[in-house]
Amino acid sequence: MLGSVTSNAVLEAIAEPTRRRILDAVREGERSVGDLVEIVGMHQPGVSRHLKVLRDAGLVEARPDAQKRLYRLRSEPLKELDAWLEPYRAEWSSRLDALERHVERTATPIQNRRTTKEQP
């Protein structure tokens, strides 16, 4: 089961659309803050605040590279979240399967409604 501290931090972090865009960007590879500023379309202080939230939730990590820091995705918290969500996906899948079976049992076929001219 996903730990409540971890789950709350991860869920709160990914609830914000800008942070999800940042995660999408670092998923593709390491990015500097300058790269993320361009991608997200936000000033550097705002991007840095979002990166702090993502770092605190364990979703990104930074490594120094000369005068800048490069950020990359840490997928472990997302894997934990995915594992936690699996029973919910299974529940929805079984409900959709039941709906499909019900529709197949109760639906009446649609008849071809083309009208044909009667031949004299």
CATH number, domain at 51? 1.10.10.10
Query: What is the tally of structural domains in the chain?
Result: 1
pTM greater than 0.75 (yes/no): no
> What pLDDT is attached to residue 5?
45
Q: Give me the long-range contacts of 73-79 (CB less than 8 A, separation at least 24).
A: 73/23, 73/26, 73/27, 77/6, 77/10, 78/10
Residue 15 maps to a domain? yes
Residue 68 maps to a domain? yes
Give CA–CA dist 23/73, Å, rounded. Answer: 7
pLDDT category of residue 44 using cuts at 50, 70 and 90 = very high
Residue 76 vs residues 6, 53, 62, 88, 115: alpha-carbon distances, Å: 11, 16, 15, 20, 61
Q: What is the pLDDT of residues 47-103, one digit of tens each?
A: 999 999 999 999 999 999 999 999 999 999 988 888 888 899 888 888 888 888 888
Percent of the chain with pLDDT over 90: 55
Domain region containing 64 = 4-76
